[in-house]
Amino acid sequence: MAEDAALVEAMIAAHVHPAKRTEDEKSLVAAHRMSFSHEEEYRQFLRPKTPAVDHWFIGVAAHHLERYEKEAGTRISGKERIIARLFDMMGEPGRTEGSISKELRRQKIQGRPRLSLPRSPDDDNYGPDLLP
């Protein structure tokens, strides 16, 4: 269980933007050889001030709001305010409506990011006795 906990900790550290990682996070990522399988696909979305997971979350939330608009045949005003409130509810205050609006404009031009899970070459190394 301790190894699994260490792997999860390294996975979380791998989702922090490389420029924002602490020395401990850098060593965790390096020790577990964590890498993103599609990092080049969304390198354009990795910016020092915003973690990739935030870009992804903003895009997914906007997608679901737009899908609801289409299904209900109505328009939702204040999408940026709704998404900013979601960040507040998750305990991640500081996302302003302006920054979310800017990110949504950027995503409209560049496309929405996809968040792939980091992988480690040792992920499947649990031994033959655990496999059915």
Q: How far apart are CA 117 and CA 132, in angstroms?
A: 25
The structure tokens listed for 22 are 């602490």
User: If you search the block for the tokens 């499947």, which residue do you land on?
Assistant: 124
In contact, 117 and 15? CB cutoff 8 Å: no
- Which of these, 124, 95, 125, 111, lies nearest to 38 by C-alpha position? 111
pLDDT tens digit sequence for 45-60: 444 556 778 888 899 9
Range with lowest mean pLDDT among 80-89, 91-100, 119-128: 119-128
Q: How far apart are CA 110 and CA 95, in angstroms?
A: 21
Under the banding of pLDDT at 50, 70 and 90, the label for residue 38 is: very low
Under the banding of pLDDT at 50, 70 and 90, the label for residue 94 is: confident
Does the pTM surpass 0.75? The reply is: no
Whether the per-residue pLDDT at 30 is higher than 50: the answer is: yes
The more confident residue out of 114 and 124 is 114
In contact, 82 and 68? CB cutoff 8 Å: no
Percent of the chain with pLDDT over 90: 27
Whether the per-residue pLDDT at 119 is higher than 80: the answer is: no
Mean pLDDT of 101-119: 81
Residue 123 burial (CB < 10 Å; 0-12/13-18/19+)? Answer: exposed
Ramachandran sector of residue 12 (left: φ over 0; alpha: ψ -120 to 50; beta: rest): alpha
